[in-house]
Amino acid sequence: MLDLILQTCVNALYASSYTALMAVGLVLIFGVMGIINFAHGELLMVGAYVVFFLYATFGWPFPLAVAGSIVIVALIGVLMERALFKPMRGNPLGGLIMSVGALFILQVATVDIAGLGLAKNIPPAYDGSVALFGIETLTLPRQRLIVMVAATAGLVLLWLFLTRTKLGWALRACAQDPEAAALQGISLDRTALIAMVIGAAFAGGAGALLAPIVQVTPYMGHAYVVTAFIVIIVGGVGSLEGAVVASVIFTFFDTFVTTFIDGSTAAILGLLLMLVVLVVKPTGLFGSAEKA
Partner 1 sequence: MAHEARLGWLLAFAFACVAPNFLSVSMRDVALYMLLYIVVAQSFRMITLTGDWSLGHVVTMGVGAYASALLVKKLGFSVWIAMPSAALVGALIAYILSFPLFRLKGNYFLIGSFAAGEAIRLTWFKYRDPFGGPTGILRIPAPELTVPGLGTLDFSDWSLFYYLALGFTVLCLWLMWRLERSRIGLTLNAIHWRDLLAESVGVDVRRYKTLAFVIASFFAAFAGAMFSHYLGSANPNQFGLAVMLYVLVWVIVGGTRTFAGPVIGTVLLTALSEILRVVGVDEYRPAIYGIILILTILFLPQGLESLPGRVRDWCARRKGVVPAA
Partner 2 sequence: MSKIRKGMKRRQFLGTAASAAAFTAPYVKRGHAAETVRIGFNAPVTGDVAAWGLPGLYGCEIWAEKLNAAGGINVGGTTYNVELVSYDNEYLSDKALTGAKQLVLEDGVKIVLQLGGTDALATAEFMTKNKMLSSTLVPSDLSPETTYLVAPCEVHPLYNSTGVEWLARNKPELKTVAMVTQDDTIGRPSVALYRAAFEVTGMELVHDSFFDLATTDFAPIMTAMLASKPDVLCFDTAYPDFINLLNEQAFLQGYEGTIISCTLDNYPVIMEKTSAAFLEGHIFQFPDFDDQALNQPQINFKNANDFYAEYTARYPGSWNAVSWEYAAILELWKTAAEKAGSVEPDPVLEAMKAGGKGDHAFGPASWWGEELFGINNALVGAWPVVQMQNGKATIVEYGDIPTWWEKAKDATIKHFEELGEMWYQRT
| Residue 216: CB minimum distance to partner 2, A | 9
Contact between 100 and partner 2 per CB under 8 A: no
Binding residue (CB under 8 A) for partner 2 from 2, 59, 90, 118: 118
The residue (of 152 and 259) whose beta carbon lies closer to partner 2 is: 259
Binding residue (CB under 8 A) for partner 2 from 61, 63, 87, 263: 263
Number of H helices, E strands in the chain: 11, 2
Binding mask 201-240 for partner 2 (x = CB under 8 A): -----------xxxx-x-xx-xxx-xx-------------
The residue (of 8 and 91) whose beta carbon lies closer to partner 2 is: 8
Taking alpha carbons only, the member of 72, 106, 99 closest to residue 84 is 99
The residue (of 18 and 30) whose beta carbon lies closer to partner 2 is: 18
In whole angstroms, how far apart are CA 278 and each of 91, 223, 231, 245?
A: 27, 22, 12, 16
Encoded amino acid at 202, one letter = F
* Residues in contact with 36: Cβ distance below 8 Å, sequence separation at least 6, in sequence order: 26, 30, 92, 95, 96, 99
The piece of 115-123, 181-189, 192-200, 275-283 that touches partner 2 (CB under 8 A) is 115-123
| Residue 255: CB minimum distance to partner 2, A | 5
How many angstroms separate the CA atoms of 118 and 80, rounded? 29
How many angstroms separate the CA atoms of 16 and 24, rounded? 12
Phi-psi region at 90: left, alpha or beta (left = phi > 0; alpha = psi -120 to 50): left
Which residues here bind partner 2, judged by CB under 8 A?
Answer: 4, 7-8, 11-12, 14-15, 108, 111-112, 114-121, 123-124, 129, 139, 141, 144, 212-215, 217, 219-220, 222-224, 226-227, 255, 258-260, 262-264, 266-267
